[in-house]
Amino acid sequence: MNLKKNNFQDLPSVNDVLLKLDKSILLHPSYLKYLIRSEINKSRVQIINNKLSKYPENILSDIVNSVNKKSSNSLVNIINGSGIVLHTGFGRAPFKSSTLKNIANRIEGYVNLEFDLHSGKRGDRLLHLKEHLSSICGSESSLCVNNNAAAVMLAINEIANGGEVIVSRGQLVEIGGSFRIPDIIEKSGAVLKEVGTTNRTHKNDYKNAINSNTKLILWVHTSNYIVKGFTHSVSLSNLIKIGKKHNIPVMIDWGSGSLLDMKSMGLANELPVKSIMKINPDVLTFSGDKLIGGPQSGLIVGKKEWIDALHKNPLYRVLRCNKITIGLLEEILRSYHYHSFTENNLSLKLLTTSRAILKNRGKKILNYQSQRKIKDFGIKLENSEVEAGSGSLPEKLINSMALSFQPKSISVNDLAKKFRLGQIPVVGYIKHNKFYIDLKAVLSNQVNKLAKAIKEV
């Protein structure tokens, strides 16, 4: 039978909801009441708009269920079916549970973050990483801050505050999240001096721009795009020669950065940081949470005089890394043995997993499904190509495998939502009216979980 339109008297009180909530919920009372009031207000708005027709007990039940769900942890483990290993929305570089357990054991309670155990006096948090990172990168010294944008801003502020920074127009990039080189230079207290054109910049463009106000020459890795065709750019070695001739420091924003030769690993032709340092730039910055495989951080390597100056800059105190980041960075640096990496570097492990291995995993997932499920959901295993993500390795797509879904009785949008809201959220993508779960970024220990998630949808 049809229900009458509800009125405000049908809404439960906050206390009514509290009495019905799961008793295992452990939250601050103020936040719990906020969640309850938010859900009651949603029902109130529905009543105002004449869109609520339920028995009062059902309204209470729906509010209780919603609050129970929203009171669970917000940050949860997901299965990344996007194919993008370094997905910014998913936290970029993933970590193995064993790595996190090692860190948890080492930083439980108190740690010697800024304490010298040998002398018994206050120490420097950078010493946990400085020599290790410098040795791998072939630099005189190093420093870490909380992300690469911070690294770029700190370096420009220290070297060029109040002066001009010369940058090629073809390198005035925007790299997601409103990281725009012109804005970073402005906020760093320097003045941008553009040279050349979008597609062509020559040595004379730099030379002619140098004046008494020039404090820095900045070279920026374009990271998430490439320019082809009628182009010309000045090599880094020539740029450094120009800087030395005019006694102007040269800084490189190497973007994603890498400690290994990506080409030798079957990926794009991305030179490792150590190769770039051989041409002797004054400062080089790169991300710690992309191709390095570490936590969100910005790594700065270069000449000792500049690194020491950055360390003394008041901005460093604002941008420095905490003990968890430093612990994770140390653990990731230890994953690099000789000229390779260990199983503990999950980012590089995923990026280099072959299509053949992914195909076998895909077959295993399909074998777990009933033939009816495969037929009703139109599930197929297909070749795919993916990007590394976060602006890394933009020049070459990476071979992968994906499960495609073309369901008969549900839209692909609804199917995607069902996967996202499952017990273990699975996030894929929609293309050409198909839903895809790419296997490139699915962890090996998640294969059985993914097979189960598909079976339960």
Within a domain: 104: no
- pLDDT for the residue 451: 97
* pTM for the predicted model, two decimal places: 0.90
Domain that holds residue 140: 112-342
Q: Is the pLDDT of residue 288 over 60?
A: yes
In the chain, what percentage of residues exceed pLDDT 90? 78
In a domain, 96, yes or no: no
Q: Helices marked H in 230-378 — which ranges?
A: 236-245, 273-277, 304-312, 314-319, 323-333, 346-351, 355-367, 371-376
Residue type, position 351, single letter? L
Instruction: Identify the pLDDT of residue 176.
Output: 64
Decide if 287 is inside a domain.
yes
Residue 66, in any domain of the structure: yes
Confirm whether 2 is domain-assigned: no
Same domain membership, residue 331 and residue 431:
no
Position 158 in a domain: yes
Same domain, 166 and 192: yes
In a domain, 105, yes or no: no
Per-residue pLDDT tens over the stretch 343-399: 788 999 999 999 999 999 999 999 999 999 999 999 999 999 998 886 667 667 899
The residue out of 342, 376, 401 marking a domain boundary is: 342
Q: How many domains does the chain have?
A: 3
Where a domain ends, among 342, 364, 388? 342
Sign of CA dihedral 79, 81, 83, 87: negative
CATH number at residue 389: 3.90.1150.180
Sorted by sequence, the CB contacts under 8 Å of residue 359 that are 6+ apart come out as: 381, 401
d(CA 398, CA 268): 9
Q: How high is the mean pLDDT of the chain?
A: 92
Residues 58-77 have pLDDT tens digits of 999 999 999 999 999 999 99
Task: Decide which of 342, 376, 409 is a domain's last residue.
Answer: 342
